[in-house]
Structure 1
C-alpha cells in the first residue's frame, strides 16, 4: 500500500519529490540529502578504550572500505582473536562505518570482547539500490576469508585473526544483512572461514501483512514508512515480501550457515514484533540451531548506539562478549 501524503513520516512537494522526515530527502534534481550518519570520526587510537582502528579499501573498483578495530594488547605467541564482521544500520540509505553513531560502540565491543572487528562500509541506496548493499557485504566476507592462509593484504588479519571463530553482527538493516550473509555462507558451503554465530541487534525486517502491534492505528503510518522505505531502497524487488526483507518468504532460510544466533529486541521499538517473529520463523524453518533472546525493557530502536553508557547498553555488550567468548571471562 502506498502511503497517503503528507503523513507523519513521509511527504512530497515540488521541491522535494520524496522526503523521509529526519532521514533523507530527494531534491527535484535527483540529489539525495541525508540527515543521519554525516558526522564522521577518523580512524586511529582511542585513548578511552586503548583500541586501534584503521580504514582499508577492499575494492578500488567500487571504493568499498572496512574499518578495522583491534585491541592494543601484548601479543601472545600463537594467540588469535575472534573476528566480528559488522554491518551498520540506517535502512540501507544512511550511516557509514566511519560515523560517530558506530565508532564509540565498536571500540567498546572490541575492548570488552577482545575481538577484531571488521566494520563494512557498503554502498547506499538510492544511488546504489539493493541488492548492491548485499553484494558489497558479501565482498567483505570474501575479503576477510582471503586472509585465512595468512597471506592476505591486511597484516592485522594475517597475524592476529582466528578464522575458526568468525561472527557476523549488525543492527537494524545491518542485522538484516548479517542474516542474509549467513544464508549465503550456508548455501555456498563457504568453509574458508568457520561462522560460529550471528548477532542480530534490533533487526530491520518487514512483510506485506501486518503483525503484532502493526495492526494498531497509531502504528499503521510507521509500517507504511517501513514498506515504502524498503521499496525506495529496492525498487526492482518484490515489495515487502521479498525474501531479503521477509525471512518467512525465503525458501533457503534453513540453509543458515551457523548454529547459534543472539537476537536483541527492545520493548519500545516498533520493529520489536518483527524481531520476535524472526525467532519464530527461524525455529520453524528446519534450521537446527539455537536462538538466544534479549529484550531490553523501556528502550527504543538501537538505543545502545546513542547511549552506550546506559545499564542496558552495557548489558547488551556483556551478552555479546559471552556469546563470542564462552567460557572466557569478559573484560569490563
Structure 2
C-alpha cells in the first residue's frame, strides 16, 4: 500500500512544518480576507475603505483610508508580526487591527506583505520592507509627466510626506527597528524622513538572559528556534544585531532615524524584558528624539490583535492612534 502521508523535512512546532516536496504547512495564523471586508470595517463612527496594490513582483500591500478624506493625512507604513514565518497583511487579524487603528486616528495606512521564511529566509523580509518604504517615499516626488506605472493615487493625493510613521508588532516591530537603523545610513526617495515609529511587543532576543528571562534551555525555546529557523545563516545566530540590538557588535542606537518612538510591552510577555531594555538603551545612547515606553499590566504578547474587544486592547488602540495624530 502506498502512503499518502508526506515526509517532513523540518518543522518549527507549533508554528509550521516543511515537507520534503518543498511545501509548507502553516499550523498557526488567521485566514485571508478581502479588502474593505464588511465584517470588520464598520465601526460606530466611520467605515474604512481599503484596497490591495502591487509594489513589485515580490511585494504587495493593503492600503487603508478614511472614507471622507479631504486633507492630506499622516502615512503609517505597517509591518505585521508572525515570527517572519506566518501571518499576512491580508489576514483577518491584521485587517481587523489596521482597520481599527485607522478608524481611531485619521491616517493613510500601508500594510506591507513581505515574503515569509522558510521559503524566503531572512534577510529577505527586511529587504522587502525597505523596498516598500522606498516605494511609499517615491510618491513624494511629483512626476514630470504621467505617473509611474506602479504609483498609487491614494498616496499621491492624500499622503502627507512630512508625517511618515512606521510601526509593527512582534517581528514587525523588529523590522521597524531595523528600518530605522537603515534609514540612518541610507536616504529615502525625495529626501523623505521618518517622523516616528511604534514598536509593539518587539521581537528581540539574544544568547544571554536579561532580567527575569530563563537561563535554562534557551536554545530549545520558541523565540530562539524561530530566529534560527527564519534566518539559518545569520552571522552570530541570536546575537546578530538584527535580533539583538544590545549585542557587542551592534551599531549604536543613537543612529535610529526618527524623532519619536513609542515602545509597547505587556507584563506577561516573554519579550517584555527586551522591550524595556530597548527603551533604556535608546535613552542612554544619546539619541535625541522623544521616547515613551508603555507597559500594559496582566496581558500577554500581542493581546490587542488576538483579543481586540477587551478593555486593555481598546485602550492600547487609543494610545497607538494618539501617537499617530
Asked if these proteins are the same fold (TM beyond 0.5), I'd say: yes
Secondary structure at the aligned position of 1:135 is classed as: helix
Deviations 1:35-77 (A, max 9, x none): 22350010126333400001100002x2x1010000001x43x
Q: What corresponds to 2:64 in structure 1? A: 69
Summarize the alignment of residues 30-45 of structure 1 with structure 2, pairs less than 5 Å apart: 30-44=22-36
Deviations 1:269-320 (A, max 9, x none): 1111111111122122232223211111111100101111211111111111
Q: What corresponds to 2:209 in structure 1? A: 210
Task: Output the CA distance in 1 between the equivalents of 2:203 and 2:213.
Answer: 14
Q: What corresponds to 1:57 in structure 2? A: 54
Please state how far the C-alpha of 1:235 moved relative to its aligned partner: 1.3
**Residue number among 74, 81, 85 corresponding to 2:73 in the alignment:** 81
CA contact (8 A) 1:183 1:252 kept: no
Task: Output the CA distance in 2 between the equivalents of 1:290 and 1:67.
Answer: 29
Task: Output the CA distance in 2 between the equivalents of 1:233 and 1:285.
Answer: 29
Task: Output the CA distance in 2 between the equivalents of 1:274 and 1:17.
Answer: 32
Q: What corresponds to 2:3 in structure 1? A: none
Aligned alpha-carbon RMSD (Å): 1.8
Task: Output the CA distance in 2 between the equivalents of 1:137 and 1:223.
Answer: 29
Secondary structure at the aligned position of 2:87 is classed as: coil
Task: Output the CA distance in 2 between the equivalents of 1:213 and 1:115.
Answer: 38
Please state how far the C-alpha of 1:17 moved relative to its aligned partner: 4.1
Task: Output the CA distance in 2 between the equivalents of 1:252 and 1:223.
Answer: 30
Moved more, 125-134 or 249-258: 249-258
Secondary structure at the aligned position of 2:53 is classed as: strand
CA contact (8 A) 1:81 1:160 kept: yes
Task: Output the CA distance in 1 between the equivalents of 2:81 and 2:110.
Answer: 15
Task: Output the CA distance in 1 between the equivalents of 2:320 and 2:142.
Answer: 27
Deviations 1:174-194 (A, max 9, x none): 000001111111211436323
Please state how far the C-alpha of 1:221 moved relative to its aligned partner: 5.4
Secondary structure at the aligned position of 1:54 is classed as: strand
Summarize the alignment of residues 213-232 of structure 1 with structure 2, pairs less than 5 Å apart: 213-215=212-214, 217=216, 220=217, 224-232=221-229
Please state how far the C-alpha of 1:253 moved relative to its aligned partner: 2.7
Where has structure 1 moved over 6 Å in runs of 4 or more? none
Summarize the alignment of residues 154-193 of structure 1 with structure 2, pairs less than 5 Å apart: 154-190=152-188, 192-193=191-192
| Alignment: residue pair count | 305
Structure 1 stretches lacking a partner, 5+ long: 1-13, 326-332
Q: What corresponds to 1:92 in structure 2? A: 84
Task: Output the CA distance in 1 between the equivalents of 2:267 and 2:220.
Answer: 17
Please state how far the C-alpha of 1:133 moved relative to its aligned partner: 0.2
CA contact (8 A) 1:51 1:69 kept: yes
Task: Output the CA distance in 2 between the equivalents of 1:86 and 1:286.
Answer: 26
Please state how far the C-alpha of 1:30 moved relative to its aligned partner: 3.5
Please state how far the C-alpha of 1:229 moved relative to its aligned partner: 1.4
Task: Output the CA distance in 1 between the equivalents of 2:314 and 2:196.
Answer: 20
Deviations 1:91-121 (A, max 9, x none): 0011100001111110010111100000000
Deviations 1:145-172 (A, max 9, x none): 1110344510001110100000010000
Secondary structure at the aligned position of 1:136 is classed as: helix
